Each structure stands twice: as structure tokens, then as C-alpha cells.
Chain A
Amino acid sequence: MVDDFELEILELEEEQARRRRRSRVVSSFRRDVPRTSKARPAPVLLDHVIEGWGSKGGDVGGEKGVRAPTAKAPTKKTPPLHSSIYETLNNLFNASTREIETERRIKPNNPEFNAQFNYAKNYIKTSKYTLLNFIPYNLFEQFQRLANFYFLCLLVLQLIPVISSLTPVTTAVPLIGVLMVTGIKDAYDDYQRHRSDNQVNRRKSYVLRNGQLAEEMWSKVEVGDVIRMENNQFVAADVLLLSTSEPNGLCYIETSELDGETNLKSKQCLPETEEFGQDVGRIGSFQGEIRCEPPNNQLNKFDGTLYWDNQAHPLDNDKILLRGCILRNTQWCYGVVIFAGKDTKLMMNSGKTKFKRTSIDRLLNFIILGIVFFLLSMCLFCTVACGIWETLTGQHFRIFLPWDSLVPPEPAGGAAVIALLVFFSYAIVLNTVVPISLYVSVEVIRLCQSFLINWDVALCYAPTGVHAKARTTTLNEELGQIEYIFSDKTGTLTQNIMTFNKCSIAGRSFGDIIDPRTGESLEINESGTWIRKKTKKSSSQRNANLRTPPDATVDNLIGPLDETEVNLLSDEEYRQYTRSVDLSHNPYHESSFKFYDHALTDALDASDPSCELFFRLLALCHTVMSEDKNGKLEYQAQSPDEAALVSAARNFGFVFLSRTPNSITISAKGTEEMYELLCILDFNNVRKRMSVILKRDGKIRLYCKGADSIIYERLKDGQESLKYHTQEHLNKFAGEGLRTLCLAYKDLDGEYFQNWKARHHEAAISLDRREEKLDAIYEEIEKDLILLGATAIEDKLQDGVPQTIANLAIAGIKIWVLTGDKQETAINIGYSCQLLTDDMLDIFIIDAHTASEVEDQLKKYREEIRNVNATSQPQTNLSVVTFSDEGVGQDTLSDAGEPNGGFALVINGHSLVWALSPKFEQLFLEVASQCKSVICCRVTPLQKALVVDLVKRYKKAVTLAVGDGANDVSMIKTAHIGVGISGQEGLQAVLASDYSVAQFRFLERLLLVHGRWSYYRMCKFLRYFFYKNFAFTLCHFWFAFFVAFSAQTLFDPMFISVYNLFYTSMPVLALGIFEQDVNAVNSIKFPRLYSPGLNNALFNKREFFRSALHGFLTSCVLFFIPFGAYYNGMDQDGRSMADQQTFGSVVATILVIVVTVQICLDTSYWTMFNHITIWGSLIFYFLLQYFYNFVIGGEYVGALAKAMGEPMFYFTSLLTIVVLMLPVMAWRFYWVDVHPTLSDKVRFKQRHDAKMASKRSDHDMLRTPSARRSRRSIRSGYAFAHQEGFGRLITSGKIMRPRNPKPGAMSNGRTSNLRPDANRVSVVAPAPSTVEV
């Protein structure tokens, strides 16, 4: 026993140590960030350096010289800081005892040199066991579980004859069973891990070995190797870029695996190494030395130096490709491996796989510890009592029952020794209060529930056929207790597809699809089904619409409920009106582009000038680049919004063909037009607009697109009507959650432009306050614009996201969105998925950069919340009174729990750094937890995990993190439950997750149906399980009073060993698998049914005590009623019936019957399996009794048969059952009848509906939409690109292929007929990044 507790204490201590370590990591990370920000050249770029990837090709080349010293400085000046980071990281992420690395030195192409440092290999291992160590290691791990160890101790005790009150078999059989089942499961899990490890390790990569390119597996790649990467391949390790196929050593990568963003990022190698090209000989003889920082988890930071030819070249993040990136638009590139395997930033960011336990597991451990104490105290009681008995009676009874030879013969000592031995004997007899089969049964139930999740067709995403998958089978019931959901945005809430959805041109709105029959607008969902927008007639809002009812999406695939919707699709008439416009006459059209409003094509066909100008603007005013891919024109944009706009223009016949630094070529309705590009006034966060100035046929024109508020300020006077209509459309678009942009243009006077251009140049080259001056210059020319219209882009939400969020919110789950997006985009998405609504009282935005400012903002918001809460409290009371006056039972839509619209919090990543510091984290959490929704934008993967951890630590709430990208991995691993969105390209999130689903909306069913059921079942199961074990075991305790506390068992040892295994396990297992109080449809329809899980109401210490007490009383009745009946009992022929075997058999039989009847009362969903198991286990009991006693020849042979031959047995049984069941029935009936829960009511309703179903064929389901859903946002919204465009690259000409390629880059195998060779210069040295033109 003592060992048990020590073990637990050790575990606790380790936990604390882990926590301490973690907090150190956090704090060192925090210290680290401001240091980085100091090295920043200009405050405006702050965002990019901290959270972004710092991937702006433009500012790198030019500032190299300036930056190098600052970048290198920290490595040398503050080595302790680094070592502390590394030390903590080392502790956190890998337990290896490697010496702490302070600086990494690598010589490319010199394996001997690199080998001395013993850097981590690129081999990745997540598996735990090997074939050889499996049995010892797995057994060792299993015996670390308290319960298993406890039973091992018991087994050892039973082997001692003096103590043994039961044969060892009674414990050995179940224990071996448990160990085997668990072992098999562990082995299977580890096999899966081995497989996925192998899959990754066996990926192929080209490595330069002895001057030759060789194909190697990823696992064989080592630090210092030069590897060749090709287009669309994953990068195998963190590498230093040496040379690429693209001009100027640029290469493009997609980082969706790392941060979830799919847009391209550019990286650029050192100009010196770029010259290598793909000359393997030159690369193979490259003999520099790289010195860089040790491995760390910061994705956007790299410090290092390349010493080569007696020169030091500073290296920064811009020259590093990270493992997990995919090479795009780059034929090939070469790089030196810097970090491999577990040292890569990807792995460093993925955190350690932690064994997750559910809160019920923890409670169970606690309870079992409690039971052990209870058991020990019972044993102690029996010990004392036994001592007394032996002293008073036992020692005299020695004439008939001498003491054992090892017991001292003198009375006091002998009694003491016997009493001491009895302690252990009772520990064995009563050990069944700690049920060994509990753990196995729990695992079996969870496994079945996991299969049920995997099988559920309603969780299957039809278009891809991807099922939900429970990857961890031990967390199911926790799904029913989620209080916080942390969601990624891109790819999780949204499809990560931007589509050109609607537009307003010259006061005319295009893009709506109207059902000509009903006048309702239609909407298409992701799977291509048409859905009628339901417009609430009573609503005063024009756009108040509901999409699919919440459960229709679920039933879409299986239920008969939505037949009408299917009809909509198949209806020929609807097809005609919902046919997308035919654009096939345009050779450049993309088949994936869909637009349904024929009015726009009609207008274009009619050569409507505004429409033409509108699309011409879209084709011209952008920083997108084109390329030819297998003869198909493709666009590359920094932001998906821009790509969507340019692609829309292309599909409507205004095709952007190509660009040079000073020209843009488009094809307008088939005729090629070339424009001279005079200036790009690029986008940034402050300007929120971009313009191009173009010249064609001598006319200079400025095209501008930007946020509506910004454009409206700069419009020429006198377009009031147009402005009004456009604004109306903008409002409408924004209300639908679309991202809007205004388009405008302006003709420029040639002379004025020359003048302006001169001043612009002046500003551009000035060294002092350049940004400000440029802004002012831009401001000057971007005015008096003529409004053209507005575009509306849909950042397509996944299907059902708003409904899911709304429903989950009603269920009481708080949803936090953590996204790498910038603030505006995040807010926009917040509105479109109903996280933010207009009826919210206030939306707090925290965007400060310093600790004190963040603190001020937080305190201010806290005050505000307090004020509102203080004033609104009495109002709520009042409103309750009015409701009750109006009459009870009337449906009221208002939610009493939410007197106001609540608050929302939006916090930026750089503020989060401070908000998460130990000093402010509680303040932050206090504010955040009072808000209905929280959006964290511009957060890094680690910050996501820290936020989750913060809530986990302070709120004692169950958290769920959902995401799809590698950037969500740390968050997924940190949260109690991690959900990965599968079906996307990257698998990192799914692999790290506990559950994977194809779509965000499946969370609704996963939580509200599966989670709720799992929790409900598990709790019911546990309550019953403890009840039946207490009822069973405590009979021995009562018997102790009659057997001189000698640890004589009441029951047959055989019965004891199989009671849990055979007689009572099946019905309760069936309960744990099949039980449902409320069906799936109603579980979703009434989300409040989720609240018992949130409140931990179905199984907690109190419920346990109740079950234990129930078991205690049951055992009491079970023992004493037969005692009363059989005391001095005799049969009809006078034979004595009060022998120990008969009495034991009678009690055992009644016990089995009683617990079976009890499970009948508990089962509320009787499937045929329940019938089979319940009746079956009763029949099985009698059969097995007969078989064991009469066929095998058990000790108790004849006892039960004799007892059952007498009427006494039946009278006793009936009495016992009635006495035990009546109070239970009465208690339950009272609560159902007088205080029914929602669950009871819904059950009642279900039965009522089933009765009514036959009578009412046309049953109009009255749905009461939530307050949240019924209101749509009316506001002026805008959103724009994630990032600054490629403007600088374009105008500097860096990106363009030089006319005469250098010899080294000769053999890049690309033909480019789309790219006119109009480049004036072959740019060798990159132009200064800050000069625009």
C-alpha cells in the first residue's frame, strides 16, 4: 500500500516539475520577443517580424549589411539566455541528455567535421516500443498504473497461506486479462506509430554524396548534407538555401504545414551562393562554415553566419527553408541541412506527445484512492474487532480451533498476531470494492464508442468520403464536457477559398440568385446542394436569413427529413435558374469559377462601359504575377483575395496576361492591351488601399481599390446617388459576411503626374522618415477619385459553421478563435460565422505593443464589463418578473442567462505576448472569460498552445482545440482534446489530434451527440459499477460480524472471481454502449442537453457517494433480509437450512437478481442487445452455477439447488427485490414527475411525437431560432489581403527573368512564352528595397 502512495506522490511531483519547466519556457520566450523587436528597422513592420514569416523579399537584400551586426549581436552578447532557452526546450521536447548546444557549427560537404558534434539525425521516431523491449517496457508502464500495481500487491498477498482468504486465481485471472487487453491495444497503437514514422522517414530526397546526387530516404539525411529539392516536394529538414532555379536566387514556398497559410512566401539565397546554380561540382566543393544558433522553436527567426572565402555572410530567416514547407513555382533548389529530425523547427513546435487523461480518469483515480482508504479502514475495524474476539472468545475456542503454529500461544500476543494477519485477509476479501474490471470495462466502452464515432455516416463528408475518426480511444466522454473550443480559422472555419461572389457596378448589384417562383434568394452549399434562404417574415431586417436548419445538414445524408431539399436540387426548373453563367467562349476561363447571375454577363455582352472598366481595373490594379504552367495561365498572389479578384476579371474576359517591371499586358475581351506601369502605390495596413498608375495611348490613369471607408473619404464630390446605392450594396454584402472592396479610378494630367513623380522620387530616396513622406505623397494623388463600384469576396466559410457555432454557444461552450490572420480579417470572419454579432454591447480590441498599454486596456475593459454587469443585473430580474406575469409555459425566445448581447474580445499576437505573461495572465483571463467570444489574431503556433494552456490551468475547464494545419499542432496537443480537420493536404494536425473530422460543422454532432452520449453512458456506467461492487463486497463486511472477523467469505470463491466478469458485466457494458436518453436529432435540437456534462453533474464525488451509499444500503438489505428469513431456517422436512453455503448461495443469487433488476431500471434504451445481455446474464448465472457445481464439482454443490427447492427462497427474493427497488423507483418518479430535467422532457416529447407521428402526417416542426442566429450584421465591413503584395519585387524587377541569363543559371529548364522579354535590365544586385520606382 505504501508503495502505491509513493508512486502517486512521485507522479504529482513530476507534474509540478513539468509545470515549473513549462513556465520557464514561457518566460524565456517572452523575454525573447522584445529583444527581436528591438532589432526591427521600423516600427511599422512590427507585425511582420514578430508574427509573420518576415518573408518580404524586398527588405532583405537591401538591409543585409545594416542588419547583420544587430542580428548577430544577441548570439554573442547573451549566451546564457540562449542556453536557458535551449535547456528548457530540451527538457520540454526531448528528454535526451545531450550536452547543451550553444552554437551550431556546420561545414557543408564535410561529414567528418559535422559528425563530431553528434547533431540529431533526420530520423523521426514517435513510437515507444520495439519488438524486443515491448513486454518488459509495457508491463513496467502498466504497473505504473495505480490500480494494476494494487492488484499485483493483492496477488502477492494471496500467495501467503496464512493470510489468503481467497485463492490467488480470483485476482490473477482478471489481472492477466486486464494486462493482456491493454498490452494488445498498446501494441496496436505503437504499430500505427511505427508505420507513420516509417512513411515519413522513407520519403525520398536527393542528397549530394561524394559529388554525386543520390536518392536517399529522409531518415538518412544528415546535418551538413547538401540536398536538392524539387517543385511540389516537401522540404526534408531545415536547410540553408544555396541556389535556386529562379532569378536572383528566389524561391517560393507554401507553409501550410507549418502555419496553415497557403499563400506563397518567397525566400532568397545569398547572391554569392546563388551563382552555383545547379552545378553539382561547384556545390559539392563548397567549403564554407556555417555558425548559427542552436535549435529553437521560433519559426520566424534565424541567426547565423556563413564564413566562406574569408568573408562572413550574415544569414537570417529569409535564407532558410523549414521542414514541412512545400516548394512551389520553383523548379529546383539546393540547400545545406542545418537542423534535422527533432531539431527542426517543425518538430520543435509540435510539442511533446502527452498521455492525455480525461477528467473522469483523474476523478476515478482519486475515488479509487478514496476507496482504498475506505477499504483500509474497514480492514482496520475488522482487525480491532478480530483482536477483541480472539481475546474474549477465540482463545478459549482453541479446543476446537487451535491457532496456527506461527501464532504465539500466549493469549494477548496470539490475538494480536491473528488480528494483524486478518487485516491482510480482509484486504483480500474486500478488495472487490476496488473493481479491477472497471478499467477494462471503461476501455472496452470507450473503444466501442470510438468505433461508433468512426462508423457514423452523419459524420462522413460525402464529397470526399472522409469519415470522422477517433484516433485516441480513451477520451470519448470528455467530448461531452467541453467548455472551451479553440479554433483555428483558415481551413477550419473557412474553406480557405476566396471566391468572387458579388459586385456592385455603377449602382447596380450583381450576384444574387433569386428563386423566380417565391422571390426568395437561394444559396449554394459546399456539396453543391441548393438551399432556399429562409426569410423570416416577421423580421424587420431585409437580410435576416437562416440557412439550413441545424440538424438538416446532419440528416442530409441519412434521414428522410430533408427530402424537400433534395427535390430542390433535382427539380428541372430550379436547375435552369441556378445554372452558372457559361464562360466557355473565353479561352482563359477556369472551370472552377462559378457565377450564377446572368445579368452581369448580359451587361458585359452589351459592352456596358462601367462593367468593362470595372473588370479592367481588376485586371490591372494588383500585384499578382502570372506564369505559364503546362500551357495554362496561372496566377501567384501573396493574398488569396487578390488572386480571387484577378481570377474573376479573367473569367469575365479581362485576362491579366503578364507583367514586367514597367508594363502590364491584359487581354480585354480577346484583344491584347498593353499598359505602361508608372507606379505602384502598394498596400499596407495603414493605407488599406492600393493604386496603380498606368499609361496607355498617352492617357495616364490611376486605378485604386481599397477599404470602403478609405475610398469614400477620397471620392470626388457629386456622386451622391452612386455613393448611396453603392453604400447600400456594401452594407448588404458586409451583412452577408463578405469581404468588400471599393474600386475607383481617376484620370491624371500628364504634367501634374510628372511633378508628382519627381516629388515621389524625392520622398522615396530620403533617409529620414521615408514612410511618412511616402504616405503623404500617396495621399496627395489618391483623391478626387471616381467611384466605380464594389466587389464582394467570400472567404468561404465551411458549410454550417455559423449554425454550429450558434448551437455550440447555446450548449454553453465558449469558442475562441486563434488565427494567424490579421485583425480586420479575423473580425470579418468573426462576424460571418456569428461569433461576433451586432447586438453585442462592445467589442474590445487589444492591440497595444507594450506591457503597460496592454495592462491599461485590459483594466479598462474589465471596468466596462463590471459597469455593465452592475447595471444590467436588476434589469434581468425585472424581465423575469414580466415573463412570469405573462403566463407560465409561454415560449419566450429571450435567453434569461444572457441579459445583453455580451462582449467580445479581439486581441493581437503582439499584445498577447504581454497578456500571457505571468503578471497579466489572470487579468487577461478574467476579461476574456467574461466575453462571449474571443478572437486572437496574428498568433504564433506556440502562442496558441499558451492560450490553451492558460485556460486549462486557471479555469479547470475541459478544452478542445480544432485546427487543420501544422501550426495548430501544439495547440491540439496542449488541449484536453485535439481535433484535426482532415481532408486537407497537410496531415500534421490530424496526426497530432485525438479526433479527426472532415469539416468544422461535424464538431456539433461530435460534441452534442457522441460526446454527450459518451459522457452520459460513461457516467451511468460508473455509477452503476460502483453501486454493484459496493453491494457485492460489503455483504462480506456484514458477514464479518457473524464469523468472528475471521475473513470468512460469504460467497463461493468462484462466484467472487467471476461476479464482475460474467454475471454483471454484460448488461452494464450494453448500457455503456447502447444507452441513449434522447436521440441524436433531439440532442442537436436541444443543445442545452449538453449542460450536465459542462457542470460535471452526472459523475462527480457526490454522485459517487450516492452510488456507494446505494450500494452500501443494498448490501445491508441483501444480507439482513435473508439473515432474518434463514435464521434457524429449516426445510419442510426439518433439515437445517442455515448453513453457510446455503446462506451464501441465497445471498449471491438474490444479489445477482437485484443488480440485474437495478440495471433494468437504469436502462432507458432497450435494444435487443440489452435484452439479450440482461436476461442472458441471469440465465447464464444459473447455468454456470449448475455447470460449475454439478459438472465440475464445486464446493458449494447442492446448496443453491436445495435452497431453490424451498418456497422460502422465493419469498425472500421477492421481498428483497421489492424493498430495494421501491425506494429507487419512488425517488426517480418523484424527480421525473415534479422536477423533470430537459432530458426527461425531451424523452417525454419523443414518446409523444412518436405517438403523434401516425396521426399527423404533415408535422410542422416549429423551430425557434436562437437570438444569435436571427440577427445579421449591418455594418460597414471591409477586408483585404493578408499581406503586402509583391509590389516591391515587381517594380524593382527582381522577380523577372533576366534577358541574358548568367551562365550558372543556364540550365533552368523552363520555357516562358508568356513572359515578354521586355525587361530593361538584367538585375544582378537587388535594388534597395525601399525605393518603389
Chain B
Amino acid sequence: MPAEDLEAVMNKFKQQRLPAWQPILTADTVLPAFFLIGLLFIPLGVALLYFSENVQEFQLEYTDCESITHQLADGTKRPCKEVIKETTDVCTCRISFNISETFEKNVYLYYGLDNFYQNHRRYVKSRDDDQLLGRVNPTVNSDCKPFATDSEDKIFAPCGAIANSMFNDTLRLFRKKDSENIKLIKKGIAWPSDRKLKFRNPEGALNETGAFKDTVKPLYWTRSVWELDPDDPDNNGYRNEDLIVWMRSAAFPTFRKLYRKIDHSQEGFINGLPADRYYLEVDYNYPVDSFGGKKRMILSTTSFLGGKNNFLGIAYITVGAICLLLGIIFLIIHIKFGKRAGDQLSINQNTPYSD
């Protein structure tokens, strides 16, 4: 800006005479806006509702499932949640269910937890991002306590309450008719950005002498972090996608996390999950009973907007309808009670501030 222009602007600023746009709410602008919003929102809402309705979802709660591996002497089945309190053996459940309608691909398998406070303040902060980025420090974030070090002062890898409480049930899906184990894909379930930016293994081989020297497995874990997926080094250690998914702590106490994707390359599942009878086999390890938690298995397809959620669609339709209604009400008010331009202009020194 040339100097004199700048000076002129400065002068106008000092004299508070800067040119300005001075919008006024008038019937000409407000009423059309109401109608426009109303007319826009209703179809949008319908569309959103349509997308949401297209999503297919199946939920199966298995918290109280009965063990097929542990039975009482008299043959009565015991729920796994009781079994795991007594023994460290794997307790397996099997629950059958029916899919009545073919799930269009892609179909995703989730585990859901209820009443699980992943968002508790002390829980959320109980992690060490530096450690998960592969930086080796002699100490870890004190927020990890009491899951920072074991009694011998060895660091947990990974440390903290989140990692320690990682979901460790194993879910398997079977087609009932042929007991065929449906192939599941365990990669691509975590956020790419997380894998790229937040989780890296330390330098060295993924074993107790290399990258994870001087560390111990978290208290509740049955395997070390380098044993999470020994087959695929890219999915092992801190880069294990199950771990990454778990580490992204949920916003609400009821949440679901992506567990596996149905492999649609296998025969019979090319177009999705056909309507059929299936059963779920769970290696039941994760205790949620004590605090009233619930565990679920969820199968879902996705849409343009993600999962099944009618909220937005209904909200759009409602807001659109209210808008139209308001538009009509204000049109009437304006016609019946609104001040005419002439009234607005007939003012003088003694016009009171408000009538």
C-alpha cells in the first residue's frame, strides 16, 4: 500500500470514519434466509437418513456367555466371567447368531465395551507418548504410575494404565453350516496418521534384547509387546494395530473399536456377509464384570457418513421444519406488526430511545 494511502487509512481510523459495511437485519434478508434454510435442510435430512438406514448393523453381547471349555463336574455350563476369576486358563465361549439379510461389503467387526471409562482423567493421561514413538528414555512419564515400572524398576513396555488394560479377548467368526472360520483382516484397522506419527518401535530387533531391552511386559499382559503379531513385523511391537486402536482412548464410557475386517476375497464373502447362521467364538480373557461392564461383538457395514446413526438425519429434518415454521410466523409478524420504513424514518431529537 502506498504511503499516502496508508496515511489516509490511518487518518480515517483515528477519526473513526473508516469505510464500513453496516448490515441491518431486515425482513428482506432474514425471511428469505429462514425459508432457504428450511428448504435446504429437509432434503438434506432425508438424504442423511437414507444413508444411515442403508447401513446394516448387528450387535451381540457376550458378557455373560457360557464357557465351552470349563464346565462344572455336573455338566452345568459356567459363564466365562466366573471362570476367569479362578483360573488363568483360556476360557472359550461360543454364541450362535443369525444374519437375516446379506450385509453389503465391506463388513467390519467391532468389539464394544459398555461402562468402561477409557476417558477417565487418570486413565487418559496414563501413557507415555515418547515411549510409543520409540524413544528410549531411562525413565517413563510419571503419569504411567502405578504401571510405570515393576518391582525391580524395569519399565513396562508399553507403560501406563491404558496399555496395561488392553482388550485381550480373541473373537473368531464361523459360518454355522460348515464351521468355516471366516478370514479376518487385522491390518488397516488403525488410523493411518497414528501409525505414521504416534507409534514407532525403538531401534533394534523386536525382541527382549533388541528394541525392548530392559523392559517387561505390562502387568496384565500374557504376551510381551513384541509377541503381539510375530508373523508381521510391521504389525508388531508398538506398531501393532490392535494396540494402536486401543490406545486411542474413547470419548464415552460406551464405545466400540474396530477389531477386524471381513476378508471379502474369500469365497462366499465376495459381495459381503451373506444372510446365514453364524457363531462367534470368544477366547474370554477380559474381565468387565466387577464394574458392571458389558462386552459386545458388532458387525457393521459403512456408508458415506460412516456407521448407523439416525441422529443427523432426524435433526436436519426437524431444524428444517422449524425454520419453515419460523419463516411463516415471522412473515405474519412482519406484515401485521412490523414497522414500516416510513415509521422508521420519522424520528427527531425527542424521539424516545425505545417505545
Contact = CB atoms under 8 A, between A and B. Distances in A.
Bound together: yes
B338 A1234 contact: yes
A393 interface: yes
Contacts of A1166: 20-23
Interface string B322-355: 1100100010011001110111111111111111
Interface residues of B, number: 105
A1228 B18 contact: no
Interface in A530-584: 558
B355 A1044 contact: no
Q: Of B19, B27, B146, B350, which is in contact with the most chain A CB atoms at under 10 Å from its CB?
A: B350
B353 A1092 contact: yes
A748 interface: no
A1165 B20 contact: yes
Interface in A1087-1124: 1087-1089, 1091-1092, 1121, 1123-1124
Contacts of A1208: 305-306, 312
B319 to A, nearest CB: 6
A1266 B23 CA distance: 31
B339 A1048 contact: no
A165 B14 CA distance: 45
A402 interface: yes
Contacts of A889: 342-343, 346
A1225 B198 contact: no
B255 A1138 contact: yes
Interface stretch (A21-29, A451-459, A734-742, A821-829): A451-459
Given A1130-B306, A1225-B25, A401 B251 contact: no
B349 A1086 contact: yes
A1033 interface: no
B344 A1080 contact: no
A1230 B306 contact: no
A1136 B258 CA distance: 6
A619 B337 CA distance: 73
A404 B19 CA distance: 61
A1195 interface: yes
B15 A558 contact: yes
Contacts of B117: 393, 397, 401, 1043-1044, 1046
Contacts of A457: 15
Given A1127-B311, A1202-B193, A396 B119 contact: no
B24 A1247 contact: yes
A400 B339 contact: no
A1206 interface: yes
Interface in B24-50: 24-27, 30, 33-34, 37, 41, 44, 48
A891 interface: yes
A456 B15 contact: yes
Contact of A1236 (B123, B311, B319, B339): B339
Interface stretch (A31-39, A69-77, A139-147, A1238-1246): A1238-1246
Contacts of A1133: 106, 188, 302
A1165 B16 CA distance: 11
Contact of A1218 (B292, B312, B319): B319
Contacts of B33: 1225
B300 to A, nearest CB: 7
Contacts of A1238: 347, 351-354
B194 A1198 contact: yes
Given A1042-B251, A1142-B251, A1228-B25, A1074 B346 contact: no
B350 A455 contact: no
A1239 B309 CA distance: 47
Nearest to A1144: B251
B115 interface: yes
Contact of A1246 (B22, B129, B248): B22
B251 A1143 contact: yes
Contacts of B333: 1230, 1233-1234
Interface in A841-893: 889-893
Contacts of A1243: 22, 24
A1136 B109 CA distance: 11
B165 interface: yes
Nearest to A1009: B16
Contacts of B345: 1241, 1244-1245, 1248
A1125 to B, nearest CB: 5
B190 interface: yes
B151 interface: no
A1321 interface: no
Interface string A1185-1204: 00000100101011001100
Contact of A1128 (B15, B48, B307, B322): B307
For the complex of A and B, 3 pairs with smallest distance between CB atoms: A1198-B193, A1134-B108, A1124-B311
5 contacts: A1043-B117, A1088-B349, A1134-B108, A1234-B337, A1238-B354
Given A895-B350, A1138-B255, 15 more contacts: A399-B165, A399-B287, A402-B161, A1013-B16, A1042-B251, A1048-B120, A1087-B349, A1130-B306, A1134-B108, A1136-B110, A1138-B250, A1225-B33, A1241-B345, A1241-B351, A1243-B24
Interface of B: 13-16, 18-27, 30, 33-34, 37, 41, 44, 48, 106, 108, 110, 115-124, 126, 129, 142, 145-146, 161, 164-165, 188-191, 193-194, 197-198, 245, 248-258, 261, 287, 290-292, 300, 302-309, 311-312, 315-316, 319, 322-323, 326, 330, 333-334, 337-339, 341-355
